[in-house]
Amino acid sequence: MMHGSNFGAFLRHDDSQAPPPIDRALLKRVLAYARPYRRQLNLVLITIFVISSLSLVPPLLMRSLIDTAIENKDIRLVTFLGLGMVAVPLINGVVGVLQRRSTAQMGEGIIFDLRQQLFDHLQSMSLGFYTNTKTGELMSRLNSDVIGAQQAVTTTFVSLVSNIFTVIATLVIMFRLEWRLTMISVAMVPLFIYASRQVGGRLRAVRREQMGNNATMNGIMQETLSVSGALLVKLFGRASYESNRFGESAGEVRDLGIRQAVIGRWFFMALGLLSALGTAVTFWLGAVFAINDIITIGTIVALGAYLGILYGPLTALANARVEFTTSIVSFERVFEVLDLPLDVPEAETPVTLGDVSGSVEFRDVSFAYDASAGFGLESVPRFGWGESGQADDILHQGSSGLTLENVSFVVEPGQTVALVGPSGAGKTTMTYLVPRLYDVTDGAVLIDGVDVRSISSKSLSRAVGVVTQETYLFHDTIEANLRYAKPDATLEELRTAAAAANILDHIDSLPDGFATRVGERGYRLSGGEKQRIAIARVILKDPSILILDEATSHLDSQSEALVQEALERVMENRTSLVIAHRLSTILDADVILVVDNGRIRETGTHEELLALSGLYASLFETQFRDAAAQDT
């Protein structure tokens, strides 16, 4: 048994961390999601009226049975009253099915609307948001929180309306039967309200903490149970560590669940005690009245039945505040994500590019990750940043705090520009700014003289194609992964693109050909095969501007040769920005940009840069001379 001090400990919570009170604006926003379902809502209200009204009939039938039918020995009336007692639950059951169908339509519709709105908003967030957010936490917001929000509108709201109507109608009938006994019953109502107020806020705080811990637990599961995570855990023998980490998080969820259950149990015990007290006093005084011939026995029986009807909804109403304040946390968590500002917003009047010639200009560009993407989902509760970073370049910010600083250059249509520099110099960041994965902090990036911030996202996506080092493939067929670039591509187009990417022969050698499933993140394919499928996907897209983070440095020589040949094909007649890892790519480039510490230090061709005897010459000696010897 839990002592009073322990119960107090369960109820206590840190007021400094308590969520803000539920205000009218929040409730108005919540109810807005029910507005498209007015027809279903009106039907639910009608069924509530019918069911609640019919539920009040049986006590009156019992009163007539005792005081009239039995007293007058009227068998016909007894039969009629008995049939009435059967008809009431039958009719209520049929109407209840109609009510359940309407609430299901409304509830599932709200789930759909919330999920779609959340998903669309998250799709509009920049890459910086995702580098600061665990996928498991996003899944928690889209699943658990959305379902909790739906329950606040359907289950809690329907229960609230039904119980309010039942309480009012029951009190009206009880006052007409015996107003003095009814007044004694009503005297218990303030105690119900007091208990509700004491527990509601505390359960809301526990619920919010519980949902946050659930999201953390989901994040751990997503990280460690994915293919990449499972491989890392096994290779480093960290299964015990991950098990302990998961156990700690799951333990916190367990403890909060116990705390919530105990608080709720104490609450219902208090309500049950109040109900029993009110019933006992009413029956005792009713018996005194009956002995003194003030009321009939049938009236006492009817009032006893109505007390059961009254205290049930009163208990539910007292609990409704608790349920609503806890379930509203789900809406709060959903709104927190929906209210995140778009860090890469669409222009008010976006420009649609026509035929793109392919010129690219960086005009005095400066960029800092913390300025462009200073939040992730972890910052939603307003407790600040998480610990995750923003790609490798953020670890190499200069003394000014900028990853890129005053970068200016122009790429003419059809030119190939090679980006060369030490790791973390800012090369990847520069390529991310062209397709607008991030927005510049200062300056501008222009395509055909148009600032990318003014170009519509669809138009920009059509103009720019990217092949990254880390190729991502969906857990689907090769054909589906290729069609991601061009959904209406014909089989002949797929084969042509695959041939240009040097992967067609391999696809044809597979038992299922293009219908072969590639596995989670493409793990059923080798690194070279995944890269060539990614290249074929870009060929299908047919962009005017191509960005390549050459991915041949970690491949075997045969795969490297096939990928390099495919890259050379895809670069033909396109403006190309290439983060160069191979000497051949550098030698073939029209211009070489040497990047270091977020600035362009040198510009020129291979021979011109070697003649400067500067940073490029040093990089050539340390990184490319061995490759040059192999090529000769």
Taking the C-alpha atoms of residue 400 and residue 405, their distance in angstroms, rounded to an integer, is 9
Taking the C-alpha atoms of residue 136 and residue 224, their distance in angstroms, rounded to an integer, is 10
pLDDT band at 135 (very low <50, low <70, confident <90, very high): confident
Mean pLDDT, to the nearest integer, of 430-447?
Answer: 92
3-state SS of 171-183 is: HHHHHHHCHHHHH
Q: Name the token pair of 483.
A: 């069609």
3-state SS of 582-625 is: CHHHHHHCCEEEEEECCEEEEEECHHHHHHHCCHHHHHHHHHHH
Q: Quick one: which H or E segment has residue 367?
A: strand 360-367
Query: Do the Cβ atoms of 376 and 366 come closer than 8 Å?
Result: no
Taking the C-alpha atoms of residue 494 and residue 525, their distance in angstroms, rounded to an integer, is 18
Give the tens place of pLDDT for each residue, 288-321. 787 877 778 788 778 778 877 877 787 677 666 6
CB proximity list for 287: less than 8 A, separation 6 or greater: 300
Taking the C-alpha atoms of residue 590 and residue 586, their distance in angstroms, rounded to an integer, is 9
Q: Name the token pair of 525.
A: 């394919």
Give the tens place of pLDDT for each residue, 488-537. 889 999 999 888 888 888 899 988 899 988 877 677 888 788 888 888 88
pLDDT value of residue 407: 93
Query: Do the Cβ atoms of 214 and 144 come closer than 8 Å?
Result: yes
Quote the DSSP letter at residue 452: G
Query: Do the Cβ atoms of 153 and 110 come closer than 8 Å?
Result: yes
Predicted TM-score (pTM) above 0.85: no
CB proximity list for 365: less than 8 A, separation 6 or greater: 404, 406, 407, 408, 430, 433, 440, 442, 443, 444, 445
Could you give the count of Cα atoms lying within 13 Å of 457 in the half-sphere of its Cβ? 13
Q: Name the token pair of 506.
A: 């391999």
Q: Quick one: which H or E segment has residue 447?
A: strand 442-447
Domains of the chain in start order, with CATH, are 23-338 (1.20.1560.10), 412-439+456-631 (3.40.50.300)
What torsion do the CA atoms of 451, 457, 459, 463 make, to the nearest 10 degrees?
A: 70
Is the confidence at residue 410, as pLDDT, over 60?
Answer: yes
pLDDT value of residue 329: 75
Taking the C-alpha atoms of residue 138 and residue 107, their distance in angstroms, rounded to an integer, is 21
Quote the DSSP letter at residue 351: B
Phi-psi category of 23—alpha, beta or left, where left has phi over 0 and alpha has psi -120 to 50?
Answer: beta
Q: What average pLDDT does the chain have?
A: 79
pLDDT value of residue 304: 77
Mean pLDDT, to the nearest integer, of 242-251?
Answer: 84
The count of other CB atoms within 10 Å of the CB of residue 84 is: 15
pLDDT band at 484 (very low <50, low <70, confident <90, very high): confident
> Which of 370, 358, 365 has its CA nearest to residue 445?
365
1 or 420: whose pLDDT is higher? 420
Is the confidence at residue 395, as pLDDT, over 50?
Answer: no
Quote the DSSP letter at residue 125: S
Taking the C-alpha atoms of residue 97 and residue 152, their distance in angstroms, rounded to an integer, is 20
Phi-psi category of 228—alpha, beta or left, where left has phi over 0 and alpha has psi -120 to 50?
Answer: alpha
Give the tens place of pLDDT for each residue, 63-75. 888 877 787 888 8
Q: Name the token pair of 170.
A: 């029951």
Report strand pairing: 416-420 vs 575-579: parallel
Is the confidence at residue 232, as pLDDT, over 70?
Answer: no
31 or 203: whose pLDDT is higher? 31
